[in-house]
């Protein structure tokens, strides 16, 4: 199956990773990338709906051709049963399957981009609060030492009498 706009899909999918060292740039680019994915999603959904309409039209054409045959006319139930297996409807059914597949992939990518936005927001909040240093990638050991240092800096909660 082909993916609608494969090259664009691959390019946008590659931008799913988060570089916490460049969080400012990530925050600036993300809305535009999300908009682009949303536009592709809208186009592929429209193309999917068009493919379904063309499939229905191919069924109608095939049914009409079966009715126009010379000699004894087949019953309607036979026409309805045979029409989807004519050459035109079979090709249209393949197109519908491809477009449904593409729409599902683009919807998944859009959902992933929404999740990335949520993660970027959390990272920005952690950076702003001082929990994470900007432009720093911590190893687990470094992260633990920063957490401990932050805990030591906090004043204990005093109980009121």
Taking only the tens place, the pLDDT of each residue in 108-153 is 999 999 999 999 998 888 877 777 666 556 677 877 787 777 777 7
Q: How far is it, in rounded angstroms, from Cα 104 to Cα 91?
A: 20
pLDDT at 37: 93
Q: What is the largest distance, in Å, between two alpha-carbon atoms of the chain?
A: 102
Q: What is the pLDDT of residue 19?
A: 78
Of the candidates 92, 90, 116, which has an alpha carbon nearest to the alpha carbon of residue 37?
116
Inter-residue contact 67 to 73 (CB < 8 Å): yes
Number of H helices and E strands in the chain, helices first, is 5, 0
Residue with tokens 């001082």: 130
At residue 2, the pLDDT reads 62
Cα–Cα–Cα angle for 54, 58, 61, nearest 5°? 135
The one-character DSSP state at 157 is P
> Per the confidence metrics, is the pTM higher than 0.85?
no
pLDDT mean values, one per 10 residues, the chain (161 residues): 77 85 84 93 94 95 86 85 90 93 93 93 82 66 76 66 53
Q: For residue 30, what pLDDT is reported?
A: 92
pLDDT at 25: 86
């Amino acid at each position: 199956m082909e993916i609608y706009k494969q090259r664009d899909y691959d390019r946008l999918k590659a931008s799913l990773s988060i570089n916490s060292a460049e969080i400012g740039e990530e925050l600036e680019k993300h809305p535009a990338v999300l908009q682009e994915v949303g536009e592709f999603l809208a186009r592929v959904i429209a193309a999917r709906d068009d493919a379904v309409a063309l499939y229905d039209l191919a069924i109608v054409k095939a049914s009409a051709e079966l009715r126009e045959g010379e000699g004894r006319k087949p019953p309607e139930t036979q026409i309805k049963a045979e029409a989807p297996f004519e050459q035109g409807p079979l090709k249209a059914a393949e197109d519908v399957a491809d477009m449904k597949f593409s729409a599902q992939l683009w919807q998944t990518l859009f959902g992933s981009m929404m999740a990335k936005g949520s993660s970027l927001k959390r990272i920005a909040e952690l950076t702003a609060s001082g929990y994470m240093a900007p432009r720093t990638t911590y190893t687990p050991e470094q992260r633990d030492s920063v957490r401990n240092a932050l805990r030591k800096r906090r004043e204990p909660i005093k109980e009121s009498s």
